[in-house]
Amino acid sequence: MVRILGVPVYDQPLARALDEIVATCTAGASPRTSRLISATGAHGLVHAQHDPAFARALEQFAINLPDGLPGVWIGKYFKRARSMERVRGPDFFRAVMQRTTSTPIQHFLCGGKPGVANALRAACRDRFGNTRVVGTYTPPFRALTDAEWDELARQIYACATDIVWIGLSTPKQELFAVELARRVRVHYVATVGAAFDFHTGTAREAPVFVQKSGLEWFYRLLQDPKRLTRRYAEVVPLFLYYNLLDLVRDERQR
């Protein structure tokens, strides 16, 4: 792990994370400790700077994948994490689904608007060849009651779930995952943000060349300016500012 703005971020290639996840889920003696995984981009890293509760939540995650090229650039070129590579939430979800098609690993989908989780279940079968999505759940647009948490946990247990996938928005999805991990015993609880919408066609994904350029945030802004203009107007300059301060501190400590 490498710390970027104080947050521990995964600094190894996607292939290594996939090997670790499959090994954990298929090892008979591996305990079900509800390990947390996030796909954390600039938005999450900046939000953690002024939300101590969210920062503490990210500390509990076993793996915070670097979902954003700016974070990878900081890690590779300023933090000496030479093996670090970008792992987008949607790409991570797809890779795990494809990797586990011929394994007994079972998945549970939690998130999206009504109907999206079920549509993603069909997409996993038709696009990724994975028929082991054993359950879905659409959370309400409010905090769950204790009774609703208990019912969700019951569903997850009843399905013998190995990995629960959370598709909400940051920071809601990370906080939701932390709470869920307290209530269930699975191998992993993973937050993947827009993966639910991208893989069901609910939202349009940026072309690959845009993703590789580091301008995916701008593409998404053009797709949804009403919701994202304020967010990116804050996140982009703050990400640069906080990292500049961080790098200056690191230099002074040498």
223 domain-assigned:
no
Rounded CA-CA distance 28/219 in Å is: 44
85 domain-assigned:
yes
42 domain-assigned:
yes
User: Structural domain of residue 45, as residue ranges?
Assistant: 2-201
87 domain-assigned:
yes
pLDDT of 183 reads: 96
What burial class does residue 23 get, using C-beta atoms within 10 Å of its C-beta: 0-12 exposed, 13-18 middle, 19+ buried?
Answer: exposed
Q: CA 17 → CA 59, 165, 193, distances in Å?
A: 18, 16, 18
248 domain-assigned:
no
Does residue 155 contact residue 135 with C-beta atoms inside 8 Å? yes
97 domain-assigned:
yes
184 domain-assigned:
yes
Question: Each residue's pLDDT tens digit in the chain (254 positions)?
Answer: 899 999 999 999 999 999 999 999 998 767 899 999 999 999 999 999 999 999 999 999 999 999 989 899 999 999 889 999 999 999 999 999 999 999 999 999 999 899 999 999 999 999 999 999 999 999 998 899 999 999 999 999 999 999 999 999 899 999 999 999 999 999 999 999 889 999 998 878 777 877 777 777 777 778 778 777 888 788 888 999 999 998 888 777 76
pLDDT of 254 reads: 65
Q: Tokens at residue 232, please?
A: 């990116």
Number of domains observed in the structure of the chain = 1
DSSP β-bridge partners for residue 39: 65
Q: Residue 115 belongs to a domain with what CATH number?
A: 3.40.50
232 domain-assigned:
no
DSSP β-bridge partners for residue 180: none
